[in-house]
Amino acid sequence: MRVLGIDPGLTRCGVGVVDVTPDRRATLVFVDVIRTGAGEALEKRLLTIGNQIASMLDEWHPDAVAIERVFAQQNLRTVMGVAQASGVALHASAARGLDVGFHTPTEVKAALTGYGGAEKKQLATMVAKVLRLAEAPKPADASDALALAICHAWKRGASVATDRGTLTPAQQAWHAAERSAARSGAHRRLAP
């Protein structure tokens, strides 16, 4: 399953594509941050964001789009721009008939780290581990977009394959990351 994750924003809009197999193994396909200048006209900033997201949808052909669910209660200074950017992203996704999932930051943190109150840095560390990267993509908007995509794929997969007694997605991610570290990074660190 291929998912495009979007962390919407006017100044920085994180976008990340991951492929996730039924056994929850996730692979990085593409990650970027769409940037627009605060001095530009609002409608031109939204045009840039919408057009770039449309290009990515047409280039990477995701099966689904995962986007942060925004609340008016969040940072009032930026929330209107976030909502407007999410509007154009949702329009581009719906125009292509794509499945769209909305996830709160708490849901994303819980899915990846097992704890909804995890710190930003813990989430970024888990994104890197799950995707078997040496470090988390920067800035945080890029890493957050990938976290949204992984969260969405795991939740959708979990709704099909959940079974009593199996590990939670977060637990499986930790175990997979530990196995991965044992196989690669740890070996490299121990090599002469």
Task: Find the shortest distance in angstroms from Cβ 118 to a copy of itself.
Answer: 25
Residue 68 annotated in active site: yes
Nearest to 123 by CA among 114, 112, 131: 112
Nearest-angstrom CA–CA distance, 163 and 177: 21
Catalytic-labelled residue, pool 7, 19, 63, 99: 7
Q: Give the residue with the Cβ less far from a copy of itself, 61 or 121.
A: 61
**What is the phi/psi pair of residue 80, to 5°?**
-65, -45
Instruction: List residues bridging with 7 in a β-sheet.
Output: 14
Q: Which residue in the set 1, 4, 57, 85 belongs to the binding site for a copy of itself (CB under 8 A)?
A: 85
> Which two structure tokens, joined as six digits, stand for 153?
């794929």
Nearest-angstrom CA–CA distance, 144 and 146: 5
Task: Find the shortest distance in angstroms from Cβ 47 to a copy of itself.
Answer: 4
Task: Find the shortest distance in angstroms from Cβ 140 to a copy of itself.
Answer: 22
Q: Does 94 bind a copy of itself (CB under 8 A)?
A: yes
Helix (H) or strand (E) holding 29: strand 26-35
Q: Are 12 and 140 in contact (CB under 8 A)?
A: no
Residues of span 98-127 touching a copy of itself by CB under 8 A: 100, 102
Residue 119 annotated in active site: no
Q: Does 79 bind a copy of itself (CB under 8 A)?
A: yes
Own/partner contacts of 68-76, CB < 8 Å, gap of 24 or more, are 68/6, 68/7, 68/8, 68/102, 68/103, 68/104, 68/105, 68/108, 68/144, 68/148, 69/102, 69/103, 69/104, 70/8, 71/104
Q: Does 95 bind a copy of itself (CB under 8 A)?
A: yes
Residues of span 25-54 touching a copy of itself by CB under 8 A: 41-44, 46-47, 50-51
Q: Which residue in the set 86, 113, 125, 143 belongs to the binding site for a copy of itself (CB under 8 A)?
A: 86
Q: Does 58 bind a copy of itself (CB under 8 A)?
A: no
Active site residues: 7, 68, 141
Binding site for a copy of itself (CB under 8 A): 41-44, 46-47, 50-51, 70-73, 76-77, 79-80, 83-88, 90-91, 93-95, 100, 102
